[in-house]
Amino acid sequence: MEKKLKSMLTFPCSFTYKIIGTANPELVDNIIKVIQLQIPGDYTPQIKSSNKGNYISISVTIHANNLFQIKNLYYELSKINMVKIIF
């Protein structure tokens, strides 16, 4: 998987994470805090609610300088307990 990802990306590049989690007002703030710690910048998350309102989908685009940043941020985001899936 890592080799495939490396061959698809040319660094530096923009990379979008799509995160699905429980519909909790703190989730978006927690995600942005984690991103800011890893890769400081201005982020404008796009948020969509599920049909029943139990989950939200958050898309955030970062500017990555290398594959390590992408993998590390994925790992750090996955540690947020309200996060269910990261694409």
Q: Mean of the pLDDT values across residues 17-45?
A: 96
pLDDT at 7: 77
Alpha-carbon distance of 43 to 84, in angstroms, equals 21
**CATH number for the segment(s) 2-86:** 3.30.70.260
* Terminal Cα distance for the chain, rounded: 14
- Please determine, for residue 37, whether its predicted confidence score (pLDDT) is greater than 70: yes
pLDDT at 71: 94
What DSSP character marks residue 81?
Answer: T
pLDDT at 3: 75
pTM of the model: 0.90
Residue 58 neighbours by CB distance under 10 Å: 20
- 1-4 contact pairs (CB < 8 A, 24+): 2/67, 2/71
